[in-house]
Chains A and B, each alone.
Chain A
């Protein structure tokens, strides 16, 4: 079974080739069938891989499938291969599972679009690249997938490229990601210089011996890889591309910019956890950046009026949580939140897509309202998604978010816990603000409301499946503190991922961080319950506040927010980050370009170099051309003189 692993990425690649090469001539039905079918088959195969891996003893659940020799130069040799272990298979399950649902949904959402074949070809190419990313057994192969998903992200953000704003958003995403990718490459070079290999297994085996714990080499490797991750996962300060990426079709936002691609950064950090544990300073930076991003993005999400942009900022915020989790060395918690987030954020995006579809491409929350009666399935599933992300038990978001917050607290980072805690309240508030504005109250645009209609089953079915997953998805990672009293319910995810992180436990113990001992202390259990209750309280507080301001009494909202107008303005301008980039990066760059053009090119090169070189040649030619008199006798004289000189030379020598 495990031998079939290469088929998992190859099936979507085949779908891409079929749709990409022949899509123009295929019927719309077959395009959708190829697009969704190839990912569905890949999902089925991944389940098979999962089962095969599960059948192995826990310690043997790390299988490498060699494919071919990719590079060979001198001593250096790199084989392309797939690494199947609990971590990569978990990621592959999310990518193909959630990806399949979104493909199915796309068949309905993009039904009318003339570029349907192109859309499905790109989506399949994306799935292929993402699977290469998560299944790769070496950094270079991972980087191939990493760049591949970046390319597809660019292609799909600018899918409706005839409008400049869409094409610009695509370019912005691509360029900002390049910044992170550059750091990622430097990180890889550093790994190669220090360890002499780039394949995961040897790297992680050699790292604890070759790299000094807390040393400069480990720190820079970890930091550079993380800078790469901030680009791909839209963390501060490289987050600016993700909100603009919402210009793409909504299924793209769900698949690429919420559920899968943007989590690649988290995956890289978790995959490289051995390196990060050798660099506690870098790990702390990860946690701080994650926490800062979580609250920063959540606060911006409070005032967005575009339904998709609320979700985009929410995604950035939730990714911040994941980095906070892995930053306090709670790798399982980070992956857990990645999985549950994939469920409920994909659900929320697809729900938003359903609303946009119903409202005929209206995305402004201020023109919605009262859609609950028109869109029963969408509004119910969105409500479940909102409850899940807000952290209401027993939905998925509660368990994963709480796991992260608890890990932060238990790891001795109470300040980071506090930031995450407040962000959790903001999350609950802005999500319910969105739900109330869209589905409750009175219609603010009666005309659009009148024409609104529920989406076809091909779109609502994925919503229902994702809603179920958003409810039950958290049950795979029930913390021990809750599982034990409930009758020894095991933490399935932690158990499953344990073999991946067991070496990490050794390192962590060596580093003296002793988190396990901390958590074992008797008082800690009470603390964990206390924090859990506090999380629920703040989520309820956020929801309550949203209910008060957006459902019960919109008039009071006006009075209350009047005093907060300056703050509101700052939030609406997204803390002026785009403006700062414009002033610090774009303007100097344009000035430099203008200098190179007007001074270096026009004056120096065209004016000086070209004129001097050209003038010198002309001047010299004018002189030597005088030799050409055009008179035959002058030439003959030269011939005779030459002949005489040569003759004289030979005779008199």
Chain B
């Protein structure tokens, strides 16, 4: 049975919205797409547990989401939606125990979990032809981008199936749909994530739990969200950011880079009951890039 004992809410700004009363766990929430999703979720009335790694990783050539950035995301969410409970926790998705603790914490705080947004991921180390990738680089990419999502799903599975309700959203990429030169590890990981999505969707369907993949195209580095994916990709490819942006812009039929909010809008829809018959699907937010 779904549904807590909730009196109907009168009209008002508080807690109205597509995700009112739902509890969501968002990984990689310190900045970028994760932050944009957290804010949109809060605005839609959800209670949130936000996580990020909180420190840098050896082998990843750019700084990862910090504890300060995570706290800032939480603060922004609380300001936007005073009706939402917003909690934070630091966790490395490569650590099975840490992942377990985060999920238990969410269940302890909220009593239930409605949405898992698997957003944590790394884009680099990249920039090498496939035979030049080192075993450590390969393992790290898959450990974070695929196995990290699997660890989260593993940890929430019992609670979600027990509730007979829930939505899991795996943030993949257009790199899960097409190949990119010099990004074999990332592309492999994101393709695998879509495969994981489809299989998990079938496993959970009898329990009313949905699993979908969200595939953003090239997302603009946004100051407010402190996103830096595009810059890091450009750096991996050793091209100027402006030139890299131009290349992608030219390849996007809509002729615009994707904004973090564009991705967040799709994430709200996938998390809400409006998409109640959508599972195992791949929702692409790429301005038509992969339709060519």
**A and B, one complex?**
no
